[in-house]
Structure 1
Amino acid sequence: MKKTITSILTACCLLATTTVVQAEPWRARLTELAEDPARGAANLHRNQYRNPVETLLFFGIEPQMSVLELWPVRGWYTEILAPFVKEQGQLTIATFRQDLGNRADAKMQFWARLSSRLEQRIDEQSEHFGPVRRIVLDPPQLLPAPADGQFDMVLSFRNVHIWNQEGHLLATLEQLYRVLKPGGILGMVEHRAAKVTELTSVASEGYTDEAYLIAVAERVGFQLVASSEINANPRDTKNHPKGVYTLPPTLALGLEQRDYYLSIGESDRMTLKFIKPEQPEAGH
């Protein structure tokens, strides 16, 4: 019996060691990509707020994965994700719809233009980005619709507040649940609303209540694996005149109290890791 226990402990130690050994090359590669001078000074400056290496390792990114990144806009994370998976895996980006027709929403049109520029840059720098596939996220629809269970991981960075504002959060999460493989990961980073009590919060423009987001995701069928304070910012009071857009990088007030808002830095953010269960619960 003693020999059996010793064998089990030895096997567990070997497994843990193997996991660490495997993860370290990924950390080194992610760090290399995140700190690449070619990203430009502005993007490198944001590493201190967005913590890309720790965030992606927390989500469990691996180079052989099929990854869907939602609304990359300028491609801040795409610059890291695409070259990381290009040899063994596949990155798909779901951009803003560009054929907006008569839609008058200035923000949507602006984001669509940025999406177009990103796609152009991916084509021009194909050696760096690799073969990035493109679809459209027009909440709640992914167009053209990916196959059920197509992705190992879906990543969303600071998008939830928009889906919620437009009334598409639940339906969009249902689509993400569908396209994830059983056992697949949904990683989400989002501006976190101010907590008043355990039951209430104040969600000014751009912020989302953490407990609410978790509840909606669990209603769809996701299970919360872990949450992290990697992207927390206790200096963010969350009561700014133009909500989260008051803070960098947007700085919606222009020169008004610019130094003060720069001193706060980017917003306080929740970082949530969900899994699509191997065996869905009844009703999902």
Structure 2
Amino acid sequence: MRLFAALAASTMLLAATPALAQSAGHDHHAHKVDAKAALAAAVASPLREKDRARDQYRRPAETLSFFKVEPTMKVGEYAPGGGWYSRLLGLYLGEHGKFVGLFFDPTSGAFNEKSQQGIRDGAAKFPADVAGWSGMPADRFAAYTLDAVPAAEKGTFDRILIMRMMHNLTRWNIADREIKAMRELLKADGMIGIEQHRAKPTAPYSYTDGSKGYMREADIIKLMEINGFTFVGKSEANANKKDPANHAEGVWTLPPAMRGAKDDAEKARLTAIGETDRMTLLFRKRP
């Protein structure tokens, strides 16, 4: 009888082992996570207290929902920059998904030697940065420059986000090569979400070539289609009808930069307009 009980206990232990191993290995898709609740919790996190003032302009919950970003996904943020979205994505994806910083290809010809090193340094410290912002272990995060992404990473990303960066890719003449590199990283049904400062449809090319930060919606859609993507749709989550999108200093005229504002009255006028009018576009990788 004792032998039978021991064998039964042993069998139960062996049966449980795969589940324990799966849990220890952080199988991100092992159970369903309530995306809406997880996103709401990330947006409301006390760790975002300093970032929350800009939520009224950037509407992160609506934006990430439109991009269909789920907390179990592998998501890349292209050119993380100041970290506003990185801090939120770290909180949202850190527990059940995988968040990866995707940095410029330093060898693209757009950067001098000092900038190239700065890009590589930024990628190297990105996981630790996100860990510090989110309170989660650094191994939950990763980062690569686009010229040094391991071959095993290709075809593994669910989403890549390009947030207010398309104007730089255009004015530096690196848009095609960077978009193609990101396309290789996406799964067969993967998607790219783009938020970008929006010019008026009739704005001249001299104003929408990237130098002012504003771009025409139709131009970005065409650029993505040329580079192997199907246009899925757009959201007006980040629209701002008060922005005339014709500032001499471009997008940097408005908050938060308010470049060129000479006095408090001018700053108050610009603050009343708010941040730029922005398009929010979603594209699916085409076979």
TM-score by length of 2: 0.76
Using the TM superposition, give the Cα deviation of residue 194 of structure 1 relative to its aligned residue in structure 2, in angstroms: 1.6
Matched, 1:33 2:39: no
The answer to whether the Cα contact below 8 Å between 2:73 and 2:98 also exists between their aligned partners in 1 is: yes
CA distance, structure 2, for counterparts of residue 109 and residue 142 of structure 1: 13
- Counterpart of 2:283, as a letter, is F
**Deviation of 1:76 (Å):** 1.1
Match of 1:143 among 136, 139, 148: 148
Are the aligned partners of 2:101 and 2:123 in contact in 1 as well (CA < 8 Å)?
no
| Residue 227 of structure 2 is aligned to residue 220 of structure 1 | yes
For 2:172, the aligned partner's letter is: E
1:159 shift after superposition: 0.6
Q: Conserved in 2, the CA contact under 8 Å of 1:248 and 1:261?
A: yes
Q: 1:129 to 1:54 in 2, by over 3 A?
A: farther
Q: CA deviation at 1:96?
A: 5.5
What CA deviation, in whole Å up to 9, does each residue of 1:211-262 have, x standing for no partner? 1111111011100111111111111111113100111112212444111111
Aligned: 1:269 with 2:275: no
Corresponding letter in the other structure for 1:144: V
- After superposition, the Cα gap between the structure-2 partners of 1:267 and 1:45, relative to the gap in structure 1 and judged at 3 Å, is same
Following superposition, the deviation at residue 88 of structure 1 comes to 2.4
Structure 1 residue 159 corresponds to structure 2 residue 165: yes
- Among 208, 213, 230, the residue aligned to 1:206: 213
Q: 1:202 to 1:195 in 2, by over 3 A?
A: farther
CA 1:113–1:177 in structure 2 vs 1: closer, same or farther (change >3 Å)?
A: closer
For 1:241-256, list aligned pairs within 5 A. 241-256=248-263
Structure 1 pair 177/96, CA: closer, same or farther in 2 (3 Å)?
A: closer
State whether structure 2 residue 273 is matched by structure 1 residue 238.
no
Contact 1:74 1:115 in 2 (8 A): no
Q: Are the counterparts in 1 of residues 42 and 88 from structure 2 also a CA contact under 8 Å? A: yes
The answer to whether the 8 Å contact 1:96/1:115 transfers is no
What residue in structure 2 maps to residue 4 of structure 1? none
**Equivalent of residue 70 in structure 1, options 58, 71, 78:** 78
Give the Å deviation of 1:121: 3.1
* Structure 2: distance between partners of 1:191 and 1:115: 25
State which structure, 1 or 2, has the greater radius of gyration over its C-alpha atoms: 2
2:112 and 2:205 map into 1 onto residues whose CA distance is 38
Evaluate the alpha carbon distance shift between residue 120 and residue 162 of structure 1 in structure 2; reply closer, same or farther with a 3 A threshold: same
| Equivalent AA in structure 1 for residue 269 of structure 2 | Y
Distance 2:132 2:67 in 1: 29
CA distance in 2, matches of 1:273, 1:258: 33
Structure 1 unmatched ranges of 5 or more: 1-21
The structural deviation recorded for 1:201 is 9.0
Q: Percent identity?
A: 32
State whether residues 126 and 143 of structure 2, in contact with CA within 8 Å, keep that contact through their aligned partners in structure 1.
no
The equivalent position to 2:187 in structure 1, one of 181, 187, 212, is 181
- In the alignment, the residues of structure 1 paired with residue 272 and residue 122 of structure 2 have an alpha-carbon distance, to the nearest angstrom, of 27
- The structure-2 alpha-carbon separation of the partners of 1:103 and 1:77, relative to structure 1 and needing over 3 Å to count, comes to same
Change (3 A) 1:135 1:239: same
Tell me the CA shift for residue 35 of structure 1.
2.4
- Per-residue deviation, 1:114: 7.5
Kindly provide the amino acid, as one letter, of the partner of residue 76 in structure 1: W
Give 3-state SS (helix, strand or coil) of 1:149's partner. coil
**Residues 103, 91 of structure 1: CA spacing in aligned structure 2 closer, same or farther, 3 A cutoff?**
same
In 2, distance between residues paired with 1:260 and 1:114? 36
SS of the residue 1:195 aligns to? coil
Give the TM-score taking structure 1 as reference length.
Answer: 0.76
Shift of 1:38: 2.2
Whether contact under 8 Å (1:184, 1:276) holds in the other structure is: yes
Number of residue pairs the alignment of both structures matches: 248
Q: Are residues 205 and 110 of structure 1, via their aligned partners in 2, closer, same or farther at CA, if it must alter by over 3 Å?
A: farther
Q: Quick one: structure 1 residues 150 and 114, their matched pair in 2 at CA, closer, same or farther if it must change by over 3 Å? A: closer
Contact 2:191 2:282 (C-alpha < 8 Å) held by counterparts: yes
- 1-side partners of 2:137 and 2:195: how far apart? 23
Matched position secondary structure for 1:231: coil
